[in-house]
Amino acid sequence: MEAVSMLLSGFVEAFTPMNLLAALIGALVGTLVGMLPGLGPTSAIAILLPLTTVLGPTQGIIMLAGIYYGAMYGGSTTAILLNIPGEVSSVPTCLDGYPLAKQGRGGAALGIAAIASFVAGVMGVIGLVFFAPLLADQALKFGPPEYFALMTLALTVIVSLAGNSILKGLMMGVFGYLLAMVGMGPSGQIRFNFGIDELSAGFDMISIIIGLFAITEVLKGMEEKQDAISIGKIGSVYPSISDLRKSSKSIFRGGLVGFLLGLLPGCSTAVSTFLAYDLEKKLSKTPEKFGQGAIEGVAAPESANNATSSAGFIPLFALGIPSSPPLAILLAGLMIYGLAPGPVLFEQNGSFVWTVIASMFIGNIMLLVLNLPLVGIWARLTQIPFGVIGPVILVLCFIGSYTVRNNLLDVFVALVFGILGYIFHKFRWPVVPLVLCYILGPMLEQSFVQSLSMSGGNFWIFIERPISLSILIASAILLFVSLILIRRTKLRAKEAVGSEVDIAG
């Protein structure tokens, strides 16, 4: 009850004009940032961090937090309408969101994405209110062996996302991991830079994502000689009762997955969205519809996305441990204001903490109210002539690639991967396993090396620890289930083709 009374007092402060304005600005900027490929919440928060010093600590942190969870909303818009993910975490949304848009159901997909983000965001904030001390303490029990097991679990998703050929999916995964090995290794040594100093820092993830998705889409449009990016009627932004019924369980499960993973430092929103998507595909009675326009395939990753970002505030506030790069910058912001995160923060600056938490409730409501009416405006992007929007997208891609590290090499990398993405598309090689392994590969390698250092080279450390062993067993079970489901899906597809042939005959 003490938490409820403190939260109510936080709402009183959060509803003051300056705090409301800070939340509104953060939500709007975050939405825009999420839509722009390459910028992302990390860069936006870093750019605006000095500006917030003219504000008070409460307004400054409210605004930066709004940018963070607002960007989680915005990333779904271009992912669904244009198949261009603004963030890495929006990649799973493309898999079913874009096919839905091409079917004339882009409005419903955007509506479900907004609702899923809102519900999961609120779930995350409720968890922040009631379970912060307990859950943050449990998250600390995750050491390198547990993280290795968790990354192994996440990598089983490759089998489900491999498309028609598991071999192609695995080969693309290996390619993604090889790309991730370029640059600095876990022990600090430079490897595979081929004498090019610019490669010492490795390939930038944003440049690869922009190339594989955004630039590839432009090249595909040029080949098809599109007059416009038109994908048909967008339709109503308010989902039907049927869509809500199909998505309700997916939203809850995705939010739960995202919330639990959001407690773990270093576990990004990209990991939680891929796992949530894969979970829905495994639980679905019609897994063959995923990738073809399943509304659940939009609801699950979008809810996981926002739940992860909200849950990340638990270890940040309760323990001073940032679980993602944007939260690491928020930690710096707290330090600038002289606020030391941890249990002392709740005791000495309780009014500040609960006001920020209350503002997150308000911010999520603002985002829902703002995004649903604005969907029609975003949808007009699809009606712009391709001759106009194509070059604009390319310019934004090059700017986004360059501004991440102010490196022209990243622009070249984006262009190269745009051409590769086009080739992969032509020959039906799945790019999602490449992205997933590029993200998870370094985390898997680092946790593996750290685990062996802890055990003195003893591999038994992975099965001697109960949590690690449990996750590894779960990984093996999920891999087995995935192979069975893939086999069943192929059999269903053959039966469907056979029935169509019989009808035609």
**Straight-line distance from the first to the last Cα atom of the chain, in angstroms, rounded to the nearest whole number:** 70
pLDDT for residue 445: 87
What region, left, alpha or beta, does residue 51 occupy, with left being phi > 0 and alpha being psi -120 to 50 degrees?
A: alpha
Q: How many other C-beta atoms can be found within 10 angstroms of the C-beta atom of residue 493?
A: 12
pLDDT category at 455 given cuts 50, 70, 90 is confident
CA separation (Å) from 482 to 247, 292, 470, 488?
22, 18, 18, 10
For 405, counting Cβ atoms within 10 Å of its Cβ (0-12 exposed, 13-18 middle, 19+ buried), the class is middle
pLDDT of residue 436: 76
Question: And the tokens for 36?
Answer: 């722009």
Q: How many C-alpha atoms does 403 have within 13 Å on its Cβ side?
A: 17
- What does the mean pLDDT of the chain come to? 78
pLDDT exceeds 80 at position 274: yes
Confidence of residue 321 (pLDDT cuts 50, 70, 90): low
Task: Please give the pLDDT value at position 144.
Answer: 87
Among 74, 59, 60, which residue's Cα sits nearest to residue 27? 74
Q: Cα-atom radius of gyration of the chain, to the nearest Å?
A: 22
Which tens digit of pLDDT belongs to each residue from 51-104?
Answer: 666 788 888 889 888 888 887 777 777 788 777 776 677 788 888 888 888 887
How large a percentage of the chain has pLDDT more than 90? 3
The rounded distance, in Å, linking the Cα atoms of 484 and 315 is: 38
The encoded tokens of residue 222 equal 């040029």
Q: Which of 81-90, 220-229, 285-294, 300-309 shows the lowest per-residue confidence on average (mean pLDDT)?
A: 220-229
Token pair of 269 as six digits: 């929103």
Contacts (Cβ under 8 Å, ≥6 apart) of 303: 116, 117, 119, 120, 250, 251, 252, 254, 255, 258, 276
Using alpha carbons, select from 313, 314, 300 the residue that is nearest to residue 272: 300
**Where residue 499 falls among pLDDT bands split at 50, 70, 90?**
very low
Q: Does the pTM of the predicted model rise above 0.85?
A: no
pLDDT for residue 97: 86
Task: Give the model's pLDDT for residue 32.
Answer: 78
Q: Is 244 left (phi over 0), alpha (psi -120 to 50) or beta?
A: alpha
Please give the pLDDT value at position 54: 75
Q: What is the model's pLDDT at position 154? A: 73
Confidence bin at 493 (pLDDT 50/70/90): low
List Cβ neighbours of 8 (8 Å cut-off, separation of 6 or more).
none
Written as six digits, the tokens of 271 are 């990991």
pLDDT band at residue 50 under the 50/70/90 scheme = low
Measured at the alpha carbon of residue 397, what is the angle toward residues 50 and 395, in degrees to the nearest 5? 100
Q: What is the pLDDT of residues 148-195, one digit of tens each?
A: 887 887 777 677 666 667 888 889 889 988 988 888 777 777 888 777
Distance CA 473, CA 249 (A): 25
Residue 420: the pLDDT is 93
- Calculate the alpha carbon distances from 204 to 154, 175, 182, 208 in Å: 21, 15, 10, 7
Question: How far apart are alpha carbons 398 and 387 in whole angstroms?
Answer: 17
pLDDT classification of 496: cutoffs 50, 70, 90 = very low
**What pLDDT, on a 0 to 100 scale, did the predictor assign at position 417?**
92
Ranking 130-139, 180-189, 348-357, 455-464 by mean pLDDT, the lowest is: 130-139
Range of 48-57, 70-79, 227-236, 243-252 with top mean pLDDT: 243-252
- What is the spatial distance between Cα 494 and Cα 490, in angstroms, rounded to a whole number? 6
Domain assignments of the chain as residue spans, ordered by start: 2-145+205-442
- Mean pLDDT, residues 115-130 taken together: 81
At 236, list the tokens.
């109503």
Distance CA 361, CA 311 (A): 13
Report whether 284 contacts 290 (CB < 8 A): yes
Asked if the model's pLDDT at residue 460 lies above 60, the reply is yes
Structural tokens at position 491: 């059999």
> Three-class SS string for 184-224?
ECCCCCEECCCCCHHHHHCCCHHHHHHHHHHHHHHHHHHHH
Q: Which amino acid is at 105?
A: R
Residue of 306, 380, 322 whose CA lies nearest to 122: 306
The full length of the chain comes to: 505
Q: Which residue bears the tokens 């593996």?
A: 448
Provide the β-strand partners of residue 190. 184
> Exposure of 30 by Cβ count < 10 A (0-12 exposed, 13-18 middle, 19+ buried)?
buried
Mean pLDDT of 348-374: 82
Which pair of structure tokens corresponds to residue 293?
Answer: 């326009």
| CA–CA gap between residue 499 and residue 30 (Å, rounded) | 49
Instruction: Name residue, tokens 């489901």.
Output: 485
Candidate ranges 118-122, 307-311, 339-343, 466-470; pick with highest mean pLDDT: 466-470
Among 381, 386, 39, which Cα is nearest to 210's? Answer: 39
Ranges 43-47, 201-205, 381-385, 470-474: which has the least confidence: 381-385
Query: 57-82 and 106-139 helices cross at what angle (nearest 10)?
Result: 130
| Residue whose token pair is 């849950």 | 311
Q: What is the DSSP letter of 424?
A: H
475 touches 148 (CB < 8 A): no
The full DSSP string for 131-156 is HHHHHHHHHTT--HHHHHHHHHHHHT
Is residue 230 predicted with pLDDT exceeding 80? no
Amino acid at 297: G
The percentage of residues in the chain with a pLDDT greater than 70, rounded to a whole number, is 80
Q: Measuring CA to CA, which residue among 474, 420, 424, 419 is closest to residue 169?
A: 424
pLDDT digit string (tens) for 433-447? 887 788 778 878 888
Helices vs strands, H then E, count in the chain: 23, 2
